[in-house]
Structure 1
Amino acid sequence: MKKIFCFSSLLVCSFIASSAHAFWDQSHQLIGSIASKNVSEKTNKAVERLLNIPLDYPGSFELSKNTNGFDTAASWADDIKSYKDQDINNDLSSCHYIDIPFTKEKIGKKITDAEVMEKLNMIMEKNSQNSISCLKSSIKTLLVTSTSDANKAIAVRMIIHIVGDIGQPLHNASLVSKNEADEGGNKIIIDKPVTFQNINVTSSVANNLHKIWDGSLGIYLQFPYNNEKSKLGYYTDEEKEATDKNAKNIFESSDFVNLKNRLLNDKNEESIEFWSINSYKIAVKYAYSDLVFKSLNKFDKATFSVQFKEGWKNYQSSRADIIDMQIKKSGIRLSYLLNSIFDNLNIKNPYFELVSNIKNDDNIKPLFVR
């Protein structure tokens, strides 16, 4: 029997292909590791149980076995893309992003939440499957008793991943010109590719704007990519230890405690749409600014070249704190979201309200396999 995953309030199965990638493994796994240090013991046990359920589709048994921790599970939704013979890759491709449009004259400027929400609602109506709808459906899956453990195991992996995707600014925005779009910076080619240092002393190259932000601007040592290793979910002890160390340093910092308190007292946090709007505004104001567009008129050919107005190092240093903050916020959101699902103590906070609203919304359907 062919297995197809369906998401969204309309139960529409999407077959939209995308060239967009996600945060690279290092950033996704750092987010997962941060969350693991901030969840309750009950939540940790519930998540660990689901992550240890063997899955042969999507992916393979070996992949699910090797990605059974908060950290490595964060990469699973990207790792399954290596199984190109599985239709699920097409089904889930649009779960990694939502392309909220903006035009060149908006770059570097402040935009109101209301303005972005109007655009977001239009996109949600047009494309019923996206990162927001998939995250809601995955949450719903963990809240109902009518779905199998296998579905729940897939759902928790999707949640761990998508929260990180929504935190990556360029998974929420798309520069448009006439009838063309840049696919979250994937079509913006950097005239001089940027090199990021990997943990094993090799390097990774980012040749477009999207990849630069997927690599967290290189503020952390990245993991070298190998398709075959990714297909099996193989990550080295050195990579896992570095992730744990970085997460521990973040978790124990006073800034992190202050950020947690701020988010817990922000009513906007009870809306996944707000998370996306927040990332969108960062993309428009910071990710696309300080760039010199060299061939915007050739937009219809999918590539227009840009160079950094004041050099790559200046661009990187002036945005390092921004991307680091997005990683921290994603880890916090993920932890409180999972606590609200698995360890509901009726503690009133934005994430409790978020989960309650999804649970009570009959238009949001769980994912299922058939």
Structure 2
Amino acid sequence: MKISIFKKLLLGIAIIYLPVQTMAWGTNGHRISGQIADSYLTPKARAAIKAILGNESIAMTSNWADFIKSDPQYKYLSSWHYIDFDKEYSYPEMQAFLKQDTTTDAYTKLNFLIGELKKKNLPKANKLLALRMLIHIVEDVHQPMHTAHTDDKGGNDIKLTWFNNQTNLHSIWDSQLIDFQQLSYTEYVSWINHPTVAQRAEWQKAPISQWLYESSQIATKIYAGVKDGDKINVYKYNFDYIATLNNQLVKGGVRLAGLLNQIFGA
């Protein structure tokens, strides 16, 4: 009995702790991008996705990949959530790097998942896992710190103070800047989900390499704005970065919709 209680305690700690290490966007951030994606699905894609997810929305399923980290059976998925770079790349350099990329990361696994979901005879359980992971990873790579530096774990090792609370650069971009707006995820979507038709077309036309390049360029600017140990002026930080953050949330949702439409048919 004591062992059982101890195991439950460890599981509870894991649920709280593990997602913080590699989670991109917090719970609300993923739901925001997921809800935005839902608004741009074609009828055919919507029907195909419902056949896989049932009554679970894209917004709600988008956090599954973080929550499941508490289960050791899914530990192998941890490195699927990000791709770190050892230097700042030009776009041609990044394209060349990705062309040779064979590691287990967000780029290689996105391509793998797209291929899996295009298979006509993929078992339903495999489809469910693949769809949940694809939704989550597309959203992940639009959080700039998930395309950041290898040597500081995407900003996790840059310790900062936010409203007198100890945090880190990665966590600020995961959740604290979003939570500072004090909006539900549906209210947040109503606020920011207003891209033009031309913007949607341009964003959806871009290849995955372009997504990663854009995010990594933003990460470079984010790094330049802080140093380890800083006490953040939250109001100024919000003023400086909220438009960038919101644009990434919208781009992630629009591009996710475009990819799902492509996979499941226009």
Shared fold (TM-score greater than 0.5)?
Answer: yes
CA apart distance, 1:120: 4.7
Q: Summarize the Cα distance change of 1:140–1:249 in structure 2 as closer, same or farther, 3 Å threshold.
A: same
2:263 matches 1:263 = no
Q: Which residue of 2 aligns with 1:40?
A: 42
What is the rounded CA distance, in whole Å, between the counterparts of 2:134 and 2:30 in structure 1? 12
- What TM-score does the superposition give when structure 1 sets the normalisation length? 0.61
Partner of 2:81: 96
Q: Write the mapping of 1:50-65 to structure 2, written as runs, cut at 5 A.
A: 50-52=52-54
The change in CA–CA distance for 1:335 and 1:130 in structure 2 (over 3 A counts) is same
| Residues 166 and 172 in structure 1, CA contact (< 8 A), matched pair in contact too | yes
SS of the counterpart of 1:138? helix
Deviations 1:259-282 (A, max 9, x none): 213325x5xx1x212211110111
1:83-122 correspondence to structure 2 within 5 Å? 83=71, 86-88=72-74, 90-102=75-87, 112-120=90-98
- Quote the offset at 1:141 in angstroms: 1.1
Is the contact made by 2:162 and 2:231 (CA closer than 8 Å) also made in structure 1? no
Question: Alignment partner of 1:281: what SS?
Answer: helix
Residue from 178, 193, 196 that aligns with 2:162:
193
How many angstroms does 1:258 deviate by? 4.3
1:306: which partner in 2? Answer: 230
Letter in 1 for 2:188: N
Distance, in Å, in 2 between the alignment partners of 1:120 and 1:141 is: 20
> Going by fraction, where is helix more abundant, 1 or 2?
2
Partner of 2:247: 325
Decide which of 50, 61, 70 is 1:73's aligned counterpart.
61
Specify whether residues 139 and 116 from structure 1 end up closer, same or farther in structure 2 by C-alpha distance, changes over 3 A only.
Answer: closer
Instruction: Give 1:237's aligned residue.
Output: none
Task: List runs of 5+ in structure 1 lacking aligned partners.
Answer: 1-17, 53-64, 176-180, 196-204, 223-241, 294-304, 345-370
User: Does residue 148 in structure 1 map to residue 126 in structure 2?
Assistant: no
Query: For residues 140 and 94 of structure 1, what CA distance do their matches in structure 2 show?
Result: 19
- Which of 177, 189, 206 is the matching residue for 1:247? 189
Corresponding residue for residue 260 of structure 2: 338
Match of 1:215 in 2: 175
TM-superposed CA distance for 1:44, in Å, is: 0.9
Aligned length in residues? 247
Q: CA deviation at 1:24?
A: 0.3
State the distance in 2 between where 1:143 and 1:137 align. Answer: 10
SS of the residue corresponding to residue 224 of structure 2 reads: coil
Closer, same or farther in 2 for the Cα pair 1:216/1:262, shift >3 Å?
farther
Residue matched to 2:153 = 183
Contact kept in structure 2, 1:206 and 1:212, CA below 8 Å: no
- Taking a change above 3 Å as real, the CA distance of residues 69 and 131 of structure 1, as seen in their structure-2 partners, is same
| Distance (whole Å) between structure 2 residues aligned to residue 96 and residue 274 of structure 1 | 17
The 1:292–1:173 alpha-carbon spacing in structure 2 relative to 1, beyond 3 Å, is closer
Distance change (3 Å), C-alpha of 1:148 and 1:100: same
Residue 194 of structure 1 and its aligned partner are, at CA, apart by 4.2
Q: Is the CA contact (8 Å cut-off) linking 2:142 and 2:211 kept in structure 1?
A: yes
Native 8 Å contact 2:162 2:234 kept in 1: no
How far apart are the structure 2 equivalents of 1:35 and 1:216?
22
Secondary structure of the residue that 1:164 maps to in structure 2? Answer: helix
**How far off its partner does 1:343 sit?**
1.7
* 2:159 counterpart letter in structure 1: I
In 2, Cα distance between the equivalents of 1:132 and 1:139?
11
Residues 80-102 of structure 1 show CA distances to partners (whole Å, capped at 9, x for unaligned) of: 1122xx321x2100000011123
Aligned to 2:143: 168
Structure 2 counterpart of 1:314, one-letter code = K
Q: Contact 1:34–1:328 (CA<8 Å) still a contact in 2?
A: yes
Percent identity of the aligned residues?
Answer: 29
SS at match of 1:98: coil
2:52/2:127 contact within 8 Å kept: yes
RMSD of the TM alignment (CA)?
2.5
1:217–1:258 Cα change, 3 Å: farther
Q: Distance in 2 between matches of 1:166 and 1:50?
A: 23
Distance 2:265 2:182 in 1: 34
Q: Structure 2: which amino acid aligns with 1:244?
A: T
Who is 1:235 aligned against?
none
Please say which structure displays the higher CA radius of gyration. Answer: 1
CA distance, structure 2, for counterparts of residue 342 and residue 272 of structure 1: 18
Partner-residue secondary structure (3-state), 1:318: helix
